[in-house]
Amino acid sequence: MYQVPDQGGKLAVVTGANSGTGKEAARKLAGAGASVIMAVRTVAKGEQAKQTILAAHPRADVQVRRLDLADLASVKEFADQVIADGRPVDLLLNNAGVMMLPERHETVDGFEMQLGTNFFGPFALTLRLLPALLQAKAPRVVTMSSSNQGPIDFNNLNWETGYTPIGAYARSKLADLLMSQQLARIAAQHRWNLLSVGSHPGSAATSIFDNGTQLGGKQPLALRIAARITPTHSAEAGADPMLYAATAADVKQAGYFGPRFGLVGRPASASVSARGKDEKVAARLWAEAERLTGVRTPAHL
């Protein structure tokens, strides 16, 4: 397992920190001395996860705050509170997500649920937190993608027609990778001292696949069988590429990290897909995300 180097004095924001890879990331960052804001949709579950972390690290500085990435008003409220704290944010881990919802659902803002939760929410959060991030000495934004990536269709971006669980998830995860790559370009253009990096967990044993059915519907039999026979590793191992991207000394701008063997293994550099390298699509998606969320890249920071 990856050993997180000393993070004393740093503030980390981890989304989806109540379970799975987010909880493991929060635990290991707190154990390495970082102050951690556990950003969670359900505060009660976040508090339970916090107690688990404190049991292992009694002196850890951990707090739970509500954040619903499927609600842009919640994103704004959360970000405004963090900005009001007046403390620089050293690390933002865009970890939270939903996966392969059997039926199409929409966020309160009218986005297809997977794209809204996995991409539009983190996009808005990242831009709103930029003032606090750029106050830090060496800030990093790590955005969780996936090895499962699907094309961006700007004519049917939110799956008004032809919805499929796998297709919607894959699109949202390519969008995440494109976001991390485009933020890296924007940081370079503005000469911001900010690293934007992507990661993916491989096949981690978390509840994200089963969570998709909580909104209704049932996963197709083929998907359920595939989930059972695919090689997996622990949630901790799944968090390690993200943690490596957030804390390792040799990470470079626009890097991408995943398990060494694709689905499982220690964290290692991963290849960015051809779709993930498409600068024109990335720039167009960024502009579309600004338009649809109403959150724009700050002109002066």
What lies within 8 Å, CB to CB, of 93 at 6+ separation is 12, 13, 14, 15, 22, 25, 142, 144, 242, 246
CA dihedral 253, 254, 255, 257 (to 10 degrees): 140
Distance CA 124, CA 294 (A): 8
Residue corresponding to tokens 């359920």: 224
Please, are residues 257 and 241 in contact by the beta-carbon 8 Å criterion? yes
Residues 95 and 13: their CA atoms lie apart, in Å, by 10
CB atoms within 10 A of CB 223: 16
Within 13 Å of residue 286, how many CA atoms lie on the same side as its CB?
20
Q: Which of 2, 163, 169, 244 is catalytic?
A: 169
C-beta neighbour count of 3 within 10 angstroms: 10
Beta-strand ranges (E) seen in the chain are 11-15, 35-40, 62-66, 91-94, 140-144, 195-199, 256-259, 267-269
Listed residue (275, 256, 241) closest to 196, CA to CA: 256
Show the tokens assigned to 194: 């900010």
Please name every residue paired with 94 in a beta bridge, in sequence order, or none if there are none. 143
- What is the rounded CA–CA span in Å between residue 48 and residue 29? 17
169 is catalytic: yes
Q: Is 204 helix (H, G, I), strand (E, B) or coil?
A: strand
> Rounded CA gap, 154 and 160, in Å?
11
Contact 204, 235 (CB under 8 A): yes
Catalogue the active-site residues.
169
